[in-house]
Chain A
Amino acid sequence: MFRLTLRNLLARKLRLVMSGLSIVLGVAFLSGVLVFSNGLSTTFDGIIYGSTPDGVVRAKDFAEFDAGYSGTPKNVVTPETIAELEELPEVDRADGDVAGFGMSLLASDGTLVGGTGAPTLAFNYHDGPNMDGGDILELDSGRWPESDQEIVLDTGAAENGEYELGDEVQLLAPYGEIEQTATLVGTAEFNGGGTAGATLLIFSTEGAQRLFLDGKDVFNRVSLTAAEGVSQEELRDAAAEVIPEDLEAVTGDKVADESEAAIGEFLGIIKIFLIVFAAIAVLVGGFIILNTFSILVAQRSRELALMRALGAARDQVTRSVLLEALVLSFLASTIGIGLGLLLSRGLASIFRAIGLDISSAALDLTVGTVVISYVVGVAVTMVAAYLPSRRAGRVAPVAAMRAEAPQAPAPLGRRAAIGGALLLVGAALVAWGVAGAPGPDAIWVGIGGVVWIITVAVISPIIGKPVLVGCRALFSRVFGAPGRLAGENALRDARRTGATASALMIGLALVSTIGVLAASMNKSIDDLVDEEFTADYLVQSVNFVPFSTSVGDDLADVNGVSVLSRQQYVGAKIDGETEFVAANDERFNDIYDLDVVEGTTDVQGAEAFVADEYADELGVGIGDPIELTFPGGKKLELEIVGIVKPSEVTAWVSFPLDQVEQAGLARQDTSISILLEDGADAETVKNDLDDAASDVPIVAVYDKEEFSDSIRDQVNQLLYMIYGLLALAIIIAVFGIVNTLGLSVIERTREVGLLRAIGMSRSRLRRMITLESVAIALLGAVLGLGLGLVVGVSLRETLKEDLSSLALPFTQLVVFLAIAVVVGVLAAVVPSIRASRMNVLEAIAEE
C-alpha cells in the first residue's frame, strides 16, 4: 500500500511538473519580452539623453524630416553666428555641429559595414557636454581626430570592419567624390555604452566640413551649453534673439523628445509585436493548464469523492484544487521569470544579429516586469483551473463507492449549439469586414478570426471527429492493430483530445494565416513588378538611401544602355504632413507609361503630377498650385498639370529633377531605371552594369526577377521571424500533448498491462502511443491550418489594395502538416517509453 501511495505521489509530481511547464514557458516568454522591451527603451533613452546638449540652434523645420531620406539641407550656420551666440551671458559655450547623411563605411575587404537596420551617423567631434554636463562620446582607444584626414569609429564598427588604429578606413560619400579614405586614430562609444547598432563615423570639424559642406567653414547646427544657473528655456530665448531668420533655437529637452518620438514609434511596433506573441504563448499555456487540471480532477474523482464522503464540503474540495493551482502557478511563474531573463538575452542576441545592439546591462528585471509576470501567470492558471475545480466540487460522495471512475457521458449538445452560434458570429464579423465595415476592415476580420479560433478550440471535440475517424481508418490500415487502438484511444475522450489539439491549433492557425498573407504578398510583388516596373534594370541602394549621382554617370557609359532615367526621393512637408515626393528626370516618361487620369505626366520647371487619391485627399486638381516645404525651410510652389493612378514607380507627387537644387537640397539619386538597347545582349550588359556599380557596394543593379526577389527577401525575413516566435507557441503545445499522453497512459495502466500480457510487444505499444499522439497533432494541424486559411483569405480580401493577388501556400501547408506529424512523434517519446517500461504484472494488478 505504501508503495502504491509513493508511486501515485511520484506520478502526481510528474504531472504537476508537466502542467507547470506550460506556465513556466508562457511566463518566461512574457517576462522575457518585457525585460527586452525595457532594455530597448533604456538603451535608446541613454543614448538620446546622453547625446543631447542643453540647447540647439538649427535650420527651421529640421526636426520634421527623416534626414536620411531627405538630402542634406543647405541651410547652414556661419561661424559669425556661433561667435555671437558664444558672447551671450546665458551661453557657456556654443559648438558648431557638422553632420552628414548617406555616408557608408566599408570594411577592409571592401564590403559594407552596417548597411541594414540601424543608421550610419557621420559627424564632427567637439567636446561640448550633454545636458547632464557629461561627455557625449567616450574614447575607447587612441585619440580624437585632429586633421581632416583622420577618423574615429565606434568600437563595434572598427571590429566589424577589421580595422586597427593607423589603418586607412574606406568610406563612401553620398555625393561628390564617392571613394574617400581617412586614417583611423581612435575608437569611441556613446557615453553609457553601446550605439544601439548604429555605425558612428567621427571626423574633425574640418574633415566633416570637407566631406559634407564642400569644405566651407560653416555648420548644420549649434550645440549650446547653458551658463551656470540658466535654464534650457532661458537659453533658448536668449539664442533666439541673435540668430538669423532661417534658423531656430530649441531646448535640449525638445530635441530629446523629438528623437524619442521618432524612435518610440519604431520601438512601439517592436514591443507590441513581441507582446502579441507573449499573449499567444500565455493563451496556449492557459489551454494546457485547463486540460491538465481537467484530467487530474477526473483521475482523482474517487479520491475527491472520498473526501466528500468523509465530510468535506463542496467548497472545500473546489478550494483544495484551486489552492493546488495557486501554489503551482506561483512556483512555475518564479521559474518562468528567471527563464525569461535568459530568454531576453537570447532575443537581444537575435536583434544584435540584425543590427540592433542592446547592451546586456540594460536587460534587467524591473519591479513592474516581475509583478506583471506573476499576476499573469497566477491569474491565467487560476482561471484555467476554475472550471475543473468546480467540477471537482460536484463529484458525488457516492462515486467513492463505485468500482470504476464513472466516465461521464459528454453532454456536447449544448457545446455544439453555442459553438455553432459563435461560429456564425465570427462569420458575420468577417463578412462585415470583407464587405467594408466602418474603420479598418482588417480589424473586423481579425476579431472574427479570434472568435473563430476560440470557438473552434471549444468545439474541437465535435468538429474534430471526422479528422480522428480518418486517422483511425488510416492508421489501422497502415499499422494494423496498434494503429486501430491508437485511433480508438484518440476518439475515446473527445474533449481531452480536442482540448490538447487546440493548443497546437492556435499556433498553426496563426502560422497559416500569416502564410496566406505572405504568399499573397509575394505574388502581389511579383505581379506588381511585372506590371509596373517596365524598366529592364533598376539601380537602388540597400534601404533605399540616396547615393551619389556619379553612379548614374558610370552606368550611362555602359554599352547597350539606351535609356537611363534618374529619380530622387525627398521628404517634403505638404499641407502640414511630411510626404516623400519624387523628382524624376525627363527620361522617366520614356520608360514608364503611367495611367494618366487627366492632363500629362510630362512636367517641366515648376510643374507636378499627382496621384488621384492624393489629389482627392488634398482637394486639388489640374491647374491648382501645390506647396512643398523642404528641410532647411526652402519652399517650392508647383502647378499641378497631371493626375495619375497611383503607381509604385513614383511617389504621390512627382516633379522635375532639376527642382531639387532649387529646393536647397544636394542632388543625389534614389533610383535609376535603365532600358536595354535593341539587340543588346542582356547578360553582357548586366555584367557590365554590375561592374560599373561595383565600387559602390551600397548600390545594386537588379533585373526584374532580382528586384522582386530583393523585396520578397524582406517580406520573407519578417515571415521567418514571425514563424520563429510562433514556434514557441508550438513548443508549448507539444508539452500539452506530452502532458495529456502521460496522464492518459497513467490512467490506462491496466489496459497497457493487458495488451502486453496478451502479446503486444514493447515496440508496438510505443507505436500505439506515438500514433495517438500523431492523431492529436494532426487534428490540431488540420483544424488550425484550415481555419488559418479561411482567416488568411478573408484578411487578404480586406487588404486588397496592398495585396492585389491571392496566393495559397500549399507547399508550406504540407510542410506544416509534416511538422505536425513530427511534433506528434516527439511528444510521444517520453510517454511511450514510460508505458513500454511498465511492469506487466504490476500494471495488471493496478487498482
Chain B
Amino acid sequence: MTSVPHRPPAAARAVDLRKVYGSGQSEVHALAGVTVDLDAGKFTAIMGPSGSGKSTLMHCLAALDTPTSGTIEVDGTGLAGLNDKALTALRRDRIGFVFQAFNLIPTLTAKENILLPLDLAGAKVDQDWFDTVVDAVGLRDRLGHRPSEMSGGQQQRVACARALASKPSIVFADEPTGNLDSTSGAEVLSFLRRSVDEFGQTVVMVTHDAVAASYCDRVIFLADGQVVDEITDPDREQILEHMTALQTRAAG
C-alpha cells in the first residue's frame, strides 16, 4: 500500500485487528484479522451484513471497545496500553461521534449539546468555527431549543455539529440516518459530505443503506470479521451489486 504515492496519510489505522467473544465451543470471532487504513480528508463507509463485524470495527477504532489483539492508531497515537482516562481524553479531543439515536443530552439546549465536548475539555470555543458549523447544519434559529422540541432530523444535525465542534481528527458515525426519513437523512448525509469537501474533515460511517454509502468516497465491505471488498467513488448501483455479491457468497 505504501507504494501508492498520492495516497493521503491515514487518520486512523487498524492492523490485524481481532476481537473474540466467548471461549471454547461458543467462541465468536467478531473481527478475524482486519487491517485497514482510513484516509484523512475522506468520507469512508463501512458496510456489511449483520454480524459482519462492522460495528465492532468502528467501536474499536473509536476507542469505545478494546480488541483482543492487533493494533489501532488514531491520529498517529497507538491505543494499546492507554488507560481509561487517556482514552476518554482521546475520544473527547480527537474523535467525534454521531450515533443512530439518542445522541443528545435531553436537559441541554442544542447549543449546549454542541459545545459539551469543548466544555468537558475546558477548551475555548472558536466562535468562527462554531458559526461555520452551525450555519452549515442550518440550525441557527434552533440553538436555544431542547432535543424534545426538535425533529429527529434536526436532532441528528445537532449531533453532527457537536461531532465537528471540537475539530476532531476523525468523525465516526454509526448508522446516523437509520432512524430518519429519506429527506432528513439526505440533509444529514449532505452535511457530512460537505464537512469533508469544505472543511477537510475525515468521516467514517457504518451503514447498511446503499443510498447513504453512495455519498462516500470509499466503501469497505466486511464479512465474517474480515475485509472482503472495497470500491472507491461508488454509485448506488455499484454498491448494491457488491452487497448482493456478498450476500450470495455468504449464502453459498
Contacts and interface: CB of A to CB of B under 8 A. Distances in A.
Interface stretch (B36-44, B118-126, B194-202, B238-246): B118-126
Contacts of B116: 481, 758
Given A485-B108, A841-B59, A758 B117 contact: yes
Contact of A754 (B88, B102, B107, B121): B102
B177 to A, nearest CB: 17
Contacts of B191: none
B190 interface: no
B107 A489 contact: yes
Contact of A841 (B64, B89, B102): B64
Nearest to A840: B64
Contact of A761 (B64, B88, B102, B104): B88
B120 A759 contact: yes
Contacts of A489: 107
B160 to A, nearest CB: 13
A838 B36 CA distance: 30
A606 B169 CA distance: 105
Contacts of B157: none
A481 B116 CA distance: 7
Nearest to A482: B120
A755 interface: yes
Interface in A474-496: 480-482, 484-485, 488-489, 491-492
Interface string B97-115: 1010011111110001000
A757 interface: yes
Indicate the size class of the contact surface on chain A: 20 to 34
A755 to B, nearest CB: 7
A760 to B, nearest CB: 6
Interface in B133-184: 162
A757 B91 contact: yes
A842 to B, nearest CB: 10
A489 B99 CA distance: 22
A311 B85 CA distance: 50
Interface residues of B, number: 27
A593 B42 CA distance: 100
Given A481-B119, A841-B59, A757 B106 contact: no
Contact of B120 (A491, A492, A760): A760
Contacts of B84: 761-762
B64 A492 contact: no
Contact of A751 (B91, B106, B112): B106
B245 to A, nearest CB: 30
Contacts of A210: none
A759 B105 contact: no
A756 interface: yes
Interface in A638-653: none
A750 interface: yes
A844 B121 CA distance: 21
B85 A761 contact: yes
A394 interface: no
Contacts, number: 69
Contacts of A844: 64, 99, 102
B208 interface: no
B233 interface: no
B73 interface: no
B97 A757 contact: yes
A484 B116 CA distance: 10
Contact of A758 (B59, B107, B120): B120
Contacts of A757: 64, 91, 97, 99
A746 to B, nearest CB: 15
A63 B118 CA distance: 83
A657 B84 CA distance: 85
B211 to A, nearest CB: 23
A760 B88 contact: yes
A754 B103 contact: yes
Contacts of A756: 88
Nearest to B62: A757
Contacts of B117: 758-759
Interface of B: 59, 64-65, 84-85, 88-89, 91-93, 97, 99, 102-108, 112, 116-117, 119-122, 162
29 contacts: A480-B119, A480-B120, A480-B122, A484-B112, A485-B108, A488-B105, A492-B106, A750-B102, A751-B102, A751-B105, A751-B106, A754-B99, A754-B103, A754-B104, A754-B105, A757-B91, A757-B97, A758-B91, A759-B88, A759-B89, A759-B91, A760-B92, A760-B120, A761-B84, A762-B84, A762-B88, A764-B120, A841-B59, A844-B64
Interface of A: 480-482, 484-485, 488-489, 491-492, 750-751, 754-762, 764, 840-841, 844
Q: Which 3 A-B pairs have the closest CB atoms?
A: A759-B92, A488-B107, A481-B119
Given A758-B92, A759-B93, 14 more contacts: A481-B116, A750-B102, A751-B105, A751-B106, A756-B88, A757-B99, A758-B120, A759-B88, A759-B91, A762-B84, A762-B85, A764-B120, A844-B64, A844-B99
